[in-house]
């Protein structure tokens, strides 16, 4: 699970699931740089009917507005990009950004509960735990 500022239009690629990897890994990227008016949330995860609508509802339940969105599928991976605002402004509160990230991940894990064990074991970062804390840049 990543949370960082990005400048590339499509940094997710199809990396959240490979041919050798039957368990999808959720990837959530929060971009505060590419749009001056909105926060961009990019996510990549296994493709399941209903996941997009449930994610949109989860964001709305947090009091957020999705002002623009795009979806691309590549094999069994769905890549989604949302431009979100709260009260007509970019989301800048670090606690709210973390809440958004965790809400999306928890929502997606409902569709792929098998991924939760992999996340709990830290396998997203490989065998060795990361030495540096993943920072959210705003």
Number of domains in the chain: 1
Residue at 10 is within a domain: no
CB neighbours of 130 closer than 8 A, spacing ≥ 6? none
Query: What 8-state DSSP symbol labels residue 33?
Result: S
Domain with 112 in it = 27-125
**For the domain that residue 111 is a member of, what is the CATH number?**
3.30.70.260
Summarised one tens digit per residue, pLDDT across range 34-50 is 999 999 999 887 666 67
Residue at 132 is within a domain: no
The rounded distance, in Å, linking the Cα atoms of 101 and 1 is 9
Residue at 4 is within a domain: no
Whole-model pTM: value is 0.66
Summarised one tens digit per residue, pLDDT across range 58-101 is 999 999 999 999 888 877 777 889 999 999 999 999 999 999 98
Residue at 20 is within a domain: no
Residue at 49 is within a domain: yes
The rounded distance, in Å, linking the Cα atoms of 70 and 136 is 23
The rounded distance, in Å, linking the Cα atoms of 69 and 52 is 11
Residue at 93 is within a domain: yes
Residue at 14 is within a domain: no
How many Cα neighbours within 13 Å face the side chain of 132?
4
Q: Would you tell me how many other CB atoms lie within 10 Å of the CB of residue 42?
A: 22
């Amino acid at each position: 699970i990543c949370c960082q500022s990005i400048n590339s239009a499509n940094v997710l690629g199809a990396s959240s699931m490979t041919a050798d990897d039957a368990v999808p890994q959720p990837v959530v990227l929060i971009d505060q740089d590419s749009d001056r008016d909105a926060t961009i949330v990019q996510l990549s995860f296994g493709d399941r009917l209903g996941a997009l609508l449930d994610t949109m509802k989860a964001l709305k339940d947090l009091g957020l507005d999705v002002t623009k969105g795009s979806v691309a599928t590549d094999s069994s991976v769905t890549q989604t990009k949302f431009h979100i605002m709260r009260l007509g402004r970019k989301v800048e509160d670090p606690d709210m950004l973390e809440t958004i990230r965790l809400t999306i991940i928890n929502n997606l894990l409902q569709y792929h509960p098998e991924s939760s064990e992999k996340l709990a074991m830290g396998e997203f970062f490989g065998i060795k735990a990361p030495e540096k804390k993943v920072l959210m840049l705003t």
